[in-house]
Structure 1
Amino acid sequence: MRGIGKMTLARRAYDDSLFSQYFDKRAWITVSQEYQRSDIFSGLLKSLKNEQSNGSAVELAKMVYQILIGRRYLIVIDDIWSTKAWDDLKMTFPDDGHGSRILLTSRILEVAAHAGSSDTLVHQMSFLNEDQSWKLLQERVFRQEYSCPLHLVEVGKKIAKNCGGLPLTIVMVVGLLCFSVCAFPEDSKIDVSKLIRLWVADGFLKPNDPFRCLEDVGEGYLEDLVKRSLVLVSKKGPDGKLETVGIHDMLREICITKADEE
């Protein structure tokens, strides 16, 4: 089911530091219902080489194969909808006994069963129970503390229950609960990950590349605002990514005025 956490679980595995050390090559591709083989292979090459490649589907598939052969790789194929899609792709991935892995996410059990072999693990996602839903809501609203004020516990649990056990619904509701003109107090350092989650929850981000997740799109927008001097960098991480940002007082006044108008 959409929003049950398939992509989140796959992303946790894909980004795990032990996995990044274990596998020589990693790539992430989203297939969806409508796809072109050439686009898929081009996306895989971009993920593997961080550069754009052109050619026919056959030529691009050969390039993918040549990069992967002899190496231990992890390929995530996200949101695959049909057995045909897997059949179109599977010959591109060499199986040379080096411990490589392919991780698929799909809403259709038949697709997972078709892609697997006798030793394949098919993990079916389940809805969160009421306790898990409430824990997730607390974690997202109150960050590290996980401690909800007593006078909000009853209504908070009702909100969590009404999300129907879907993690994405809970995250979107959190975005609505946390968002206001005063979401970030004056002169505060704005946590980039929280800001982008709010953008996602409010539907501000539109994917301009089928191979990029919304979080990456948000980071791109934010970096563009920094280049225009509309957003000030407060802190960067060891990898150079933005961690906290801020805005000038004058820009803040403009934002508040615009928010009141809209």
Structure 2
Amino acid sequence: MVTQGDDDDDEKLVRLLKKRLKDKKCFVVLDDVWKWDIRVMNILRKRDVRILLTSRQVIENSSILRVPLLDDEESTKLFGEKVFGENGFPSHLEKLGERIAKKCEGLPLMIVIVAELLSKEDKNPGILD
């Protein structure tokens, strides 16, 4: 396995992936990638390999599907559903929920994690006011 700190050797990664994925069909997940060498994508595309790559950086490639961040309304809706169920926020907590969701900057994973933490808390209105 090649991880950050392994001399950031792109050639080593390409060689390792070629060797490990030879004649295999697979799905590779590369999470939170900060730097990407397009050669890796080109080599693997010729094989039966699909790649899911997540990054906060813009990676230019015509074969990449970009998933946009959630807008404020979508963020608040997701947050409310994860904390309180499909009905969302009680009316007295809606503004607070909007503020918390906005702090998550449209990142669905962050919204879900914060919601999971809060959903474990007592939902007594006095606690969250």
TM-score range, shorter chain: 0.5 to 0.7
Contact 2:70 2:106 in 1 (8 A): yes
CA offsets 1:164-193 (integer angstroms, 9 cap, x no match): 21112211211221235x79xxxxxxxxxx
Change (3 A) 1:171 1:106: closer
Distance 2:22 2:66 in 1: 33
- State the partner residue of 1:179: 120
Q: Match for residue 220 of structure 1?
A: none
Query: Which residue of structure 1 lines up, in the alignment, with residue 66 of structure 2?
Result: 124
Task: Find the aligned partners of 1:162 and 1:62 in 2 and give their Cα distance.
Answer: 44
CA distance 1:36–1:158, shift in 2 (3 Å): same
Bigger RCO of structures 1 and 2 (CA < 8 A, at least 6 apart): 2
Aligned with residue 141 of structure 1, among 83, 108, 114 = 83
For residues 50 and 44 of structure 2, the distance between their equivalents in structure 1, rounded to whole angstroms, comes to: 11
Unmatched segments (≥5 aa) in structure 2: 7-11, 124-129
| Identical counterparts, % of pairs | 29
Greater radius of gyration (CA): 1
In structure 2, how many angstroms separate the alpha carbons of the residues matched to 1:127 and 1:40?
Answer: 30
Corresponding letter in the other structure for 1:153: E
- CA-based RMSD of the aligned residues comes to 3.5
1:82 aligns with 2:37: yes
TM-score (norm 2): 0.62
Q: Which runs of 5+ in 1 are unaligned?
A: 1-30, 42-56, 69-74, 95-100, 117-121, 184-262
Residues 1:105 and 2:53 are matched in the alignment: yes
Please state whether the residue corresponding to 1:109 is helix, strand or coil: coil
TM-score by length of 1: 0.34
Distance change >3 Å, CA 61–CA 168, structure 1 → 2: closer
Post-superposition Cα deviations, 1:198-222, rounded to whole Å, max 9, x if no partner, equal xxxxxxxxxxxxxxxxxxxxxxxxx
The whole-number CA distance in structure 2 between the counterparts of 1:82 and 1:106 is 14
1:131 Cα deviation after fit: 0.9
